[in-house]
Amino acid sequence: MSTFPPQILTAAFAAVCGFVTFKLLAYHLNLVLFPWPIQLRETANLLSTSLLLKGGNPYALVNQPLYTNVYGLLYNLVTYPVAALFGPTLAVHKSVAGVFTLGCCLVTYWMLRGGGVTRTLSWSGSLVVYIALLVGKTSLAEPDSLGLFFYLLTIAIAVRCNFSRWGLAASGLAGIAGFYTKPYFILGIPLVAFYLVLFVNRKKGILYTIGTASAFILSAVAVSALCETYFYNTFLIHRNVAGKDVNLMLMQWATFGRQLTEVLAALSIAVCAMALSVLAARRGRVGAPAADGQGKSPLSPLRKGGDVRPLSPHWMEETLTPRNSLMNLGHGGDVPGTGQSPVIVSLPLFALVLVACVFTFKLGLHDGAYMTYLYQLVAPLFVLSVFPLLDRAGAWSYLILPLLALNLLRTSAAYSDLDNAFGPKDRANWEKAATYVSSHRNVLNSAAVAPLLFAQGKPLYDSGQSQYFSCGLEQPPPFGFLFPRVEEVRGQSARYREDIVAAIKAKKFDLLMLDRSFSKWIAPEELFPQYYTHRDVVTLYMPHMGYHWQIDIWEPKQ
């Protein structure tokens, strides 16, 4: 193996991490401060927070479907105090989401460090997660980053508190909070529960399951009573609109693999090193001091005690068992209070396998969230499972660190200044759309221009999620006590569209600004030319997400 000074390679790797960190933070700040809309459905959260500030209830039946919010209310409640100070703007909502995006990275770092991984490697693992979370809408005015933060805390608190009673109670509360932020983030609870039953203590697992289930049911009854359409919006709609596209699922796995190509190569090297160490041990050649500095690792300058020890014949067991992995970050040895010896599997690895199966057979088939579930649910667990193995690669780190550096540089290269992708023509088109909004009083809007109307205090008719309200009752709802007033809900959806159609016929809208894809739910397309004249088409580009929306401009016929 090379005798290249490990301190130099470690310093170079740290420099790469520093450069990538600066680049990602600069892009993220640009994302928060970008003055124009970036995502189609962001206005739904702005409306919910705004209504809370006015003392209203976004899930009251009377406020549907304009205020339909298919995710949950906790993000808006967390944003509430900031919005009370600075207003319920896009920048405020993106700032709150950004804080929790960074929080997810810190939880990842905390768990890796708790597992004994070096600071530099923990830093790089957190950057892999950060890069994944900047893809898509996780860091926009959406609840995703807050929900993911609770999801990771559900696992992290249980582990770092050594599965203690209070640690598990806090873990369960974090999981329930994840649900009320965005429903699928409740996944952390069954992951911890199954792990407790199978690998820690069956009694603890059963009590954890009963306790969290009871708390969730009580909270659900209370929420349903206070917010009458809450579970229509956050449960039934998702159940009814989810797709089943196997090819899409496979394509997402392929994209995920390409994103992590170098990390997978580094993992292969670490696994090969394990295999070689086991073979060498069987031949009686392991345990002797390494010659010519081959026992040194580039990671060793950051370790107390100097160089990494030579690989032992039991490296695979030592790496995967709780005393050296992420199953028991808080202790080494037996699981407290169980009298059992630790088993050879870590909680993040166990969770990774289960979540990968959930994605493959359920979540990944949904065509409305390309790569979202993989980057949010799988990527952090992948990092938490793989980086402890990379950390124990000994002298093989000479190969692993350059691969990790290459991955960070390659995947972060996509994050350049938004203004570079947003040309003068794009800006002019948005300014033109804003002028249309400002010069008219009552605009029937596409979700793409909803932020412009919201910013100018004009009435809205489509928040970006309004179209989904009618989907909630396409199938009969289960658990009737959570879904009161079914017929009233169905009638509310029908009346909303009927009122819009009547307003179109009466020419009460002095302008229509509708896109050609998602505005079809508002009214039949053939209705528009009967009462309105087509005047213009404005193409609106949303950088970061890469969307182009063609907005048709209609004026009332004279």
Q: How many residues does the chain have?
A: 558
Q: What is the pTM of this model?
A: 0.88
**Residue 460: inside a domain:** yes
Q: How many domains does the chain have?
A: 1
Cis peptide before 65 (omega within 30 of 0): yes
Query: Is the CB of residue 59 less than 8 Å from the CB of residue 227?
Result: yes
For the sheet with 511-515, list strands across it. 443-445, 511-515, 547-556, 532-542
Between the alpha carbon of residue 529 and those of residues 148, 156, 500, 537, the distances in Å are: 45, 57, 15, 15
Backbone angles phi and psi of 143, in degrees to 5: -85, 0
Query: Is the CB of residue 462 less than 8 Å from the CB of residue 450?
Result: yes
**Residue 462: inside a domain:** yes
CA max distance for the chain: 95
Mention every residue, 6+ apart, whose C-beta is less than 8 A from residue 50. 83, 88, 454
For helices 261-282 and 379-391, the axis angle rounded to 10 degrees is 40
Between the alpha carbon of residue 19 and those of residues 15, 22, 23, 286, the distances in Å are: 6, 5, 6, 38
- CA-nearest of 441, 467, 500, 455 to 50 is 455
Tens of each residue's pLDDT in the chain, 558 residues: 445 667 888 899 999 999 999 999 999 999 999 989 998 889 999 999 999 999 999 999 999 999 999 999 999 999 999 999 999 999 999 999 999 999 999 999 999 999 889 999 999 999 999 999 998 888 999 999 999 999 999 999 999 999 999 999 999 999 999 999 999 999 999 999 999 999 999 999 999 999 999 999 999 999 988 988 899 889 888 777 777 889 999 999 999 999 999 999 999 998 888 788 778 777 765 444 443 344 445 554 444 433 333 444 344 444 444 444 443 343 333 444 444 434 447 899 999 999 999 999 999 888 778 899 999 999 999 999 999 999 887 777 888 999 999 999 999 998 877 777 788 899 999 999 999 999 999 999 999 999 999 999 999 999 989 888 888 777 777 766 677 777 788 888 889 999 999 999 999 999 999 998 877 888 888 899 999 999 999 999 999 888 899 999 999 998
- CA-nearest of 380, 471, 301, 317 to 112 is 380
Determine the Cα–Cα distance for residues 530 and 421; give it in Å rounded to an integer.
Answer: 39
> What is residue 3's predicted lDDT score, i.e. its pLDDT?
56
Q: What is the 3-state secondary structure (H, E, C) of 322-384?
A: HHHCCCCCCCCCCCCCCCCCCCCCCHHHHHHHHHHHHHHHCHHHCCCCCCHHHHHHHHHHHHH
DSSP 110-159: HHHHHTT--HHHHHHHHHHHHHHHHSTTTTSSSSHHHHHHHHHHHHHHHH
> What is residue 321's predicted lDDT score, i.e. its pLDDT?
44
**Residue 403: inside a domain:** no
**Single-letter amino acid, residue 522:** I
> What is residue 415's predicted lDDT score, i.e. its pLDDT?
86
**Residue 428: inside a domain:** yes
CA angle (64, 38, 422) in 5-degree steps: 155
**Residue 235: inside a domain:** no
Q: Say how far residue 393 (Cα) sits from the centre of its chain.
A: 30
Mention every residue, 6+ apart, whose C-beta is less than 8 A from residue 274. 311, 315, 316, 319, 389
- CA-nearest of 542, 318, 330 to 452 is 542
Query: Is the CB of residue 98 less than 8 Å from the CB of residue 145?
Result: yes
Neighbouring CB atoms inside 10 A of 108's CB total: 26
Between the alpha carbon of residue 80 and those of residues 88, 89, 149, 227, the distances in Å are: 8, 11, 18, 17
**Residue 531: inside a domain:** yes
Which tokens belong to 29? 């700040």
Mention every residue, 6+ apart, whose C-beta is less than 8 A from residue 368. 241, 242, 243
Start-to-end CA distance of the chain, whole Å, equals: 83
Between the alpha carbon of residue 215 and those of residues 92, 147, 169, the distances in Å are: 32, 18, 10
Identify the burial level of 55 via C-beta atoms within 10 angstroms of its C-beta, where 0-12 means exposed, 13-18 middle and 19 or more buried.
exposed
**Residue 153: inside a domain:** no
Residue 551: give the domain boundaries.
419-556
**Residue 461: inside a domain:** yes
Determine the Cα–Cα distance for residues 318 and 332; give it in Å rounded to an integer.
Answer: 11
Determine the Cα–Cα distance for residues 112 and 90; give it in Å rounded to an integer.
Answer: 33
Alpha helix ranges (H) inside 180-245:
188-195, 202-226, 230-231, 237-241
Helix, strand or coil for residue 241?
A: helix
- CA-nearest of 31, 39, 91, 138 to 419 is 31
